[in-house]
Every structure is written in structure tokens, then in C-alpha cells.
Amino acid sequence: MRKAIKPWLTPRLYLLMFNRSCYVGQMNRLIFCVVILIGLKMQIAQASKARLQALAQSFHLTDAQSIYKKPIDLIYLNNLVALETGVTAASSTSENAEAIISYTSDKKHHLAVSFGHQDAAVADSRRFINILTSSNFELAQNPLHIFYAVDEALTPYAVGLFYSAKNDKRADLKESSVGLSLGVEIGQFQVSALYVPVNFVEAAAGKKFEGRGHLQSSVSYLLDKTLFEFTYVTSQHRLSKEVAGAVTLNELHRQDIVTLGLVDSNRQVENDFFWGAQVITARINCGYYLSAVCDKVFTRSTLPVWFGVETQVEDWLIVRGTVKQSFLINITKDDIGYPVTAVNGATGLATDVSAGASDTVVAAGIGFKFKNLILDGVLSIASTQQIHMTNFLSQVGITYNF
């Protein structure tokens, strides 16, 4: 049963069971179908950054935000328009304003168009160099994402493309990014890949950033209610400067991240209680740092564990919450001394830590439903576990299903 790949996330599974089970003249089957049809109207809404932040970004969630990494998730989305509040000139992937439109024409062909989304494959590499060198390389300018999926009976597939560009000839500023993504579902397996062949920024005084070659691939497998996922990400961050035709290499860093994790979800009609764990190993090879040759390495291994709940307590109210913390493994060795804000686990100094500092995070959020309109907000994302005005509804998303 192929649609069981996301049994706790979408009403598509219920539709499949309905088609296969409801035309049998047994009373228990009839009762089963009535329950399923009621459940179709009570599925918890999915489509916002606020929702994912409140649920610790758990990778079992299917959402309009998840198609950027796993485009095959498009076949599980409803027809919707989702708006995310944020600033126009974003400096991170969470504070930007964006919108996405998802549409299915005939239950087989799916199309989604997104405006303003800052893809992590582009934004994170530019932010990394900005922090290291106190530069001000812009993130993607007016980025556009387009996704197309075909829900074939045996092998659904999806493709995606994103593009951004800016060319200010007077100020001598240029920016461009191009990315391609692919997703395939085979039985209980999902395979996804994202490749960025173009990612550069040119600034005044001959400074040029390059982050091309980013590759992210993942394989996931569903066993009953447990989803297993393996992910590999490799990227390169490069900064050079050209003066009088001579090019000087100032920064060169290559990062590799390997992740192996699982999430177990007890998904019911109105409730989802889940827990998950991941082993994450990150390595950064430093070639040049602050214009000097740097033959050093940063490594970090962690085992974050989380559990959470998403429940529809009323027809109009959804409550979400998670807690996440490293467990047993939290090892960092930094021979370079990366800044704290540039790399997770860094301290700003050469570091050798076998048991890291406390990183417990409690997140909470709410969703309000008004017929086909859903308003999602974050209540708190902080280790203080306090709800106060500095984070109250700091992320808000509006979704209209049609």
C-alpha cells in the first residue's frame, strides 16, 4: 500500500482505504467508512514555518515547507495558498516573508510556486562567510521556486527549480543562485536530492563569494509507524578578492554533514504524539581562514532526541509543543576557533569538548482554524521555557485551503 508512506500526515491514506474497503457489504466495513469520512474533515492543518518551529522541525512532518528539501511531499499537499510573515530584506532563513501556492488539477499532476523563500542551501553558506569576515553579502534576491510532481500509480516523482538574481551595475553588486531538486517514491522508500550549481555574490572592491556545488541527498524508509532517514550534505564556502587583475583567496571551507535518524509517530485523527532521535556528524575542512592558509578541521557529533505532540483540542484550536535535547553524545573538537554564530557547537576559540553545554529547548505553538483558513503562530522557542513578548507570535503563517 504505497500511500502508507505518510500514514500519520495526510488524508490521502484514508481515501485509499476508503476506496479499497467501503464497497463491501458488511456492517463493520460501513461503520469503518463513516469514521474515515468524518476523519477527513478533522485532519490537522499543515503549511507553515510556525508549525515546524513549534514541532522541533521533526523530519516526519509533511508540510508546504518540507517540499524544499523533499519535493515528493508535493503529492501529499492540498490545494492551498500559504503566506509567511517576515521582513523584505531577510538576513536568515526564518525571518523572511514568503508565499506558496499549491494546486492539483486532476489528482495526478501537482504544481507549486513559491515567492520569497530563502533556501538554506544558499542562505546558510552566505551567512557563514558574512559572520567569519564581517562581510555583508546579500541573500537571494526575489527568489522563485517552481515544483512539479506526477502521482503515478507505482513511482510518483517530483522535480523542482529555484532561481534568484540581482545586477546593480552602478554599485557593482551582483547576486545569482540556481538550484535543482528531485524526489522519487518507490513503495515505502523516498529518495530526494538537491543540487546548487550556481551560488555567487559579487560586491564592491572586487570581493566575490562562491558557494556552488552544494549537494544534499536523503533516503527515507517507513516501517509501520517508524520513519528512518539518512541524509548527506556537502557544501563549499569560498571568498576571493580581485585587485588589478590579481585574485587572492581569502576563505575556503568545505563542510560535510551526515545524519541518521528515526521518528516514531502515533498518528490518530486529531492527535499526533511522536518522538525522534538523530545521530549527526559534521566536519569542516578549513583551507583558508582570514586570508591565511588553514590546514585544520572542525568536527562535531551529537545525538539530539525530541518528543512532541500536536493535538486539535477544539474544532477551531490546535495546540503544539516539543522538547529537544542532546543525549549521551555531544562532542566537539574545533582546531580553528570558529565564531559561535557561524557554526553550531563552536565557542570562538580552539575547543575540545567531550560533553557539551546544556541545549534543552522547549517550543510551543498554536493554530486557529476558521473554516478553510488557518492561522499558525509560535508561542515560545527558548530554553527559558517562558512565553513573553520577545517571542510571542514571532513567527506567523496564514494558510487557505481550497
Grid coordinates in use for 198? 550556481
Residue 304: DSSP 8-state: E
| Model pLDDT, residue 387 | 56
| Model pLDDT, residue 12 | 40
Cβ atoms 376, 400 nearer than 8 A = no
Whether 163 and 51 map to the same domain: the answer is: yes
DSSP secondary structure letters along 171-239? TTEEEEEEEEEEEEEETTEEEEEEEEEEEEEE-GGGEEEE-TTEEEEEEEEEETTEEEEEEEEEEEEEE
Cβ atoms 261, 229 nearer than 8 A = yes
Whether 312 and 176 map to the same domain: the answer is: yes
Furthest C-alpha separation in the chain? 84
Helix, strand, coil distribution of the chain in percent, nearest 5 = 15, 55, 30
Whether 101 and 8 map to the same domain: the answer is: no
| Model pLDDT, residue 43 | 44
Whether 39 and 120 map to the same domain: the answer is: no
Whether 228 and 167 map to the same domain: the answer is: yes
3-state secondary structure at position 225: coil
Whether 21 and 51 map to the same domain: the answer is: no
Whether 270 and 218 map to the same domain: the answer is: yes
Local mean pLDDT, 10-residue blocks, the chain (402 residues):
40 39 42 35 58 92 92 94 88 88 91 96 95 92 97 91 95 94 96 97 90 94 96 96 86 97 89 95 96 95 96 92 93 95 92 88 90 86 53 77 90
**Four-residue CA torsion sign, 54, 57, 62, 63:** positive
Whether 49 and 39 map to the same domain: the answer is: no
Q: How far apart are CA 377 and CA 90, in angstroms?
A: 19
- Number of structural domains found in the chain: 2
- Give me the domain span that covers residue 211: 44-401
CATH of the domain at 114: 2.40.160
Amino acid of residue 312: Q
Whether 318 and 220 map to the same domain: the answer is: yes
Residue 391: DSSP 8-state: T
HSE-up of residue 399 (Cα within 13 Å, Cβ side): 24
The single residue listed with the C-alpha cell 588553514 is 294
Whether 378 and 354 map to the same domain: the answer is: yes
Whether 34 and 82 map to the same domain: the answer is: no
Q: pTM of the predicted model, to two decimals?
A: 0.85
Length of the chain: 402
3-state secondary structure at position 276: strand
Q: How far apart are CA 238 and CA 126, in angstroms?
A: 9
Whether 12 and 161 map to the same domain: the answer is: no
Cβ atoms 252, 240 nearer than 8 A = no
